[in-house]
């Protein structure tokens, strides 16, 4: 389906062309990072829609759906910003059920969601497959941290200063804007621009 052309869609079409030129064929993963409430999830949703418009098979996932349970986080100490930044997400599950099987391609099934943070409960996994050429767009806080860096083919950071304590810790350790292939300013969300 052809999307309505707006300044945001035009920007995303240009960005999607750059992403495709960067990767070629096969499976690729695009990671979108940014501080709390920066608009990264809506941006990733719209990017996925534009990539689909261009004829690509696209899957969406969010780090929000790979949280650790509150009980699992409590093993690492008191409820602090440091604990949330370091242990709030189940990166092992992310690798095991999403990234690694997605990379295998073919008929290997993968899962885009394992946890519901609002209910603090695991969800029934829905195993899906896709063609050999497919793109996974994943958004979330801290996805451009150094220990996950090798997982991504293309890195996007939403510009903005961290205001949340956990974001401040993350940015002090590794500012995602310095690790990204592209930094996007969403101050005017209807007309994004590169910075």
Lowest mean pLDDT among 48-52, 83-87, 105-109, 185-189: 105-109
Average pLDDT over residues 99-116: 94
Q: Is the pLDDT of residue 1 over 80?
A: no
Residue 71, phi then psi, degrees to nearest 5: -65, -40
Percentage of the chain surpassing pLDDT 70?
A: 99
Structure tokens at 52: 């689909």
7-194 falls under which CATH superfamily? P-loop containing nucleotide triphosphate hydrolases (3.40.50.300)
pLDDT confidence of residue 49: 98
pLDDT confidence of residue 133: 93
Q: Is the pLDDT of residue 22 over 90?
A: no
What is the pTM for the complete model shown?
0.95
Instruction: Report domain extents, the chain.
Output: 7-194
Number of residues that this document lists for the chain: 195
What is the rounded distance in angstroms from the CA atom of residue 11 to the CA atom of residue 131? 27
Residue 34 belongs to what H/E stretch?
none
Residue 12, phi then psi, degrees to nearest 5: -70, -35
Average pLDDT over residues 48-73: 96
pLDDT confidence of residue 86: 96
What is the rounded distance in angstroms from the CA atom of residue 176 to the CA atom of residue 133? 27
Residue 18 belongs to what H/E stretch?
helix 7-23
Structure confidence by residue, pLDDT tens digits, 82-107: 999 999 999 999 999 999 999 998 78
């Amino acid at each position: 389906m052809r999307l309505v052309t707006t300044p945001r869609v035009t920007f995303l079409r240009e960005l999607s062309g750059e992403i495709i030129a960067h990767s070629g064929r096969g499976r690729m993963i695009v990671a979108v990072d940014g501080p709390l409430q920066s608009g990264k999830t809506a941006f990733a949703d719209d990017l996925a829609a534009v990539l689909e418009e261009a004829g690509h098979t696209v899957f969406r996932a969010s780090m929000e759906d790979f949280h650790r349970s509150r009980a699992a986080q409590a093993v690492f100490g008191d409820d602090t910003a440091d604990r949330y930044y370091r242990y709030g997400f189940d990166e092992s599950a992310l690798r095991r059920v999403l990234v690694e099987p997605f990379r295998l391609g073919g008929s290997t099934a993968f899962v885009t969601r394992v946890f519901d943070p609002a209910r603090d409960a695991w969800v029934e996994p829905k195993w899906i497959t896709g063609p050999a050429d497919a793109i996974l767009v994943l958004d979330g806080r801290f996805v451009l941290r150094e220990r996950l860096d090798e997982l991504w083919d293309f890195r996007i950071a939403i510009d903005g200063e961290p205001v949340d304590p956990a974001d401040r810790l993350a940015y002090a350790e590794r500012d995602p804007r310095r690790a990204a292939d592209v930094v996007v300013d969403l101050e005017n969300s209807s007309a994004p621009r590169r910075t």
